[in-house]
Chain A
Amino acid sequence: MPDANALLDTTTTDGAFLVLAIVLPAAGVLLSFVLDGRHAERIAFVLLPSGLVLASIIFADVWRSGHRLIYIVGDWKPPLGIALRADGLSAAMMLTMAIVICAVAVFAHADFGTRAGSADARAPFAFWILLMAIWGAMNIVFLAGDLFTLYVAIELLTFAAVPLVCLDGRAETMQAALRYLLFALLGSILYLVGTALLYGSYATLDIVLLSRQLRMEPATLVAATLMTIGLFAKTALFPLHLWLPPAHAGAPAAASAVLSAVVVKGSFFIVVRLWFDVMPGMLGPAGAQLFGGLGAAAIVFGSVVALQQQRLKLLIAYSTVAQIGYLFLMFPLALDPVSAELQSGPALTGGMLQAISHATAKAAMFMAAGLIYAVLGHDRIAELGGIARAIPMTIFAFALGGVSLIGLPPSGGFLAKWLLLEAAVDTGQWWWAIVMLAGGLFTSAYMFIVLSSAVALPSEPLKLRGTVPRYQEAAALALALTSLLLGLVALGPVDILGVGRPDSIMGEPR
């Protein structure tokens, strides 16, 4: 296919935007270091919205043209050079993460804002730099065209995420951060072994080139297995989820929102790249069922443990463990029964929509939990009585986030689970449908526990420790509404997820 080859190896017209998406955050981080710490927030407030604009431009570009954007760095073509590629998946995820990160920035202004005239404090300084670093690392994850750049990106992501866990410097959060770091390091070194083995066999790590040469042989299988286990550890898929609840629940609210909504999606995205783009034919029915089985176990385990939690933030963290499970149900559902290859179809769309709607909904819920903590001084679920009257907007945002997690229409979660259910029926794998429905019931149960407690009448008058700024509540509500309305919006541009998929390049576009 000379045409396709030429197409894949040249910089497209708007390819320079991809470079900008990586350079801007990096510039922000470096500038914040060089300038006084107090400027970090101002720099972030200039750069994060421009990142949102940039992600929108890339999204619109990919959607309108129906082709991926490509930038060949330094005009050195792969396999020697590095390519940046934005297909439909990258564009959609980039836009989602930009929206979430901007909302988190607005929310964090209250907690990590640097007041005029104050001495520069460590935590705000670190927070804004880490937020920009996470944004940049996520963009590299979405745009990178080869497996080694993905390794560097996932490491950057880890290094930015771990300090966020222990921003307040308490011993238990430091322990959580250390445990997270050790899990992540094990994950990344396993991933690195995999890349070494793949390079040894094929002398390239470029995703497109690799996908054409891949053969079923022991070295490739070992490499794929090691990389997958490493990425599972970073994504906190059951049974490698142990680090997640203490890390996500202990962090400050704004940081929890970023960690739960954004960071775990990074390594998940690489799993998708690896299995759907690099080696769609390698997983096979048994492997796909195993992925789905781990996902199902995560849903059941995460939900059951979430039901038993006494504290709101831990409940939300365990709910993240469960919702990550849904993401892996798409693997058995996307497997074509005839060719035994992973296909880009409704199941992939459903899985990615689940990632997007979970990102927005979960960020909103962690923000709401942070506001509840700020108002009450605790987040014990049993003692939330009356809070719905004190901060109704926040509780509303929390409930809307829950609606999306449960999968009620018209939320993004509904559309995602609908597509997955449909794929389960189409491929005759009814057992995944049962898991999904059971997960929905569990989710409704723990949402009901929290909400019924929040709207209950307090036994004694509520003692409020403080008030929360309206814009913090608005940020949480905006994200929850985004998640809710995603189901409607996705009726239009949902096709973007199929743009630039390997199938649609080889054959005709879907």
Chain B
Amino acid sequence: MSAAALFGLSGAALVGIGLYGLVTNPEPLRKILAFNLLGSGVFLVFGVVSRRAAASGLGGDPVPQAMVITAIVVAFAATAMAIALVLRLLQETGRSTLDADNPGGAGGKS
């Protein structure tokens, strides 16, 4: 098995695990972790693409590398925002669930 295939399969496995976690876990924090796992899998796939698409004789195609850096920044920002929301929710209600039946907060809806 070539290195590219190995990395590709690892990426696919990470995507699978992450997707499973994101869909099945009810806890927001675990969902965020699963999202990060899923993201890592995608970044790995980008790396493999960069290797495979290096048709011009370079060691690797720089475009997917540039993309993956952007994507990592985006995923980092997303994670930070999600964590901030979870923390704030915890401060307000003492719990951090997405359970719609127990909004936790007092007061009516607007």
Contact = CB atoms under 8 A, between A and B. Distances in A.
Given A171-B92, A171-B104, A313-B110, A189 B38 contact: yes
Interface string B61-84: 101100100110011011001100
B15 A178 contact: no
Contact of A178 (B46, B71, B82, B105): B82
Contacts of A24: none
A205 to B, nearest CB: 8
Contacts of A203: 53, 55, 61
B65 to A, nearest CB: 11
Given A179-B98, A193-B15, A199-B53, A174 B85 contact: yes
A148 interface: yes
B71 A192 contact: yes
A80 B74 CA distance: 21
A178 B107 contact: no
Nearest to A243: B98
Contacts of B109: 172, 249-250, 311, 313
A249 B70 CA distance: 33
Contacts of A379: 110
Interface residues of B, number: 43
Interface string A285-304: 00000000000000000000
Contacts of B93: 171
Contacts of B98: 175, 178-179, 182
Contacts of B107: 170
A485 interface: no
Chain A facing B: main interface SS:
helix
Interface of B: 15, 22, 28, 31-32, 35, 38-39, 42, 45-46, 48-49, 52-53, 55, 61, 63-64, 67, 70-71, 74-75, 77-78, 81-82, 85-86, 88-89, 92-93, 98, 100, 103-105, 107-110
Interface of A: 80, 148, 151-152, 155, 158-159, 162-163, 166, 168-172, 174-175, 177-179, 181-182, 185-186, 188-189, 192-193, 195-197, 199-200, 203, 246, 249-250, 252, 311, 313, 373, 378-379
Given A175-B103, A178-B82, A193 B89 contact: no
A196 B46 contact: yes
Nearest to A172: B103
A197 B42 CA distance: 10
A159 B81 contact: yes
A504 B106 CA distance: 57
Nearest to A313: B110
B35 A196 contact: no
Given A185-B82, A189-B75, 12 more contacts: A155-B74, A159-B81, A162-B85, A172-B104, A177-B85, A181-B81, A182-B22, A188-B74, A196-B45, A196-B49, A199-B67, A200-B52
A169 B104 CA distance: 13
Contact of A196 (B32, B42, B100, B108): B42
7 contacts: A152-B74, A169-B92, A175-B100, A179-B98, A186-B22, A186-B35, A313-B109
Nearest to B108: A378
Contacts of A178: 28, 82, 85-86, 89, 98
B105 A170 contact: yes
A179 B63 CA distance: 33
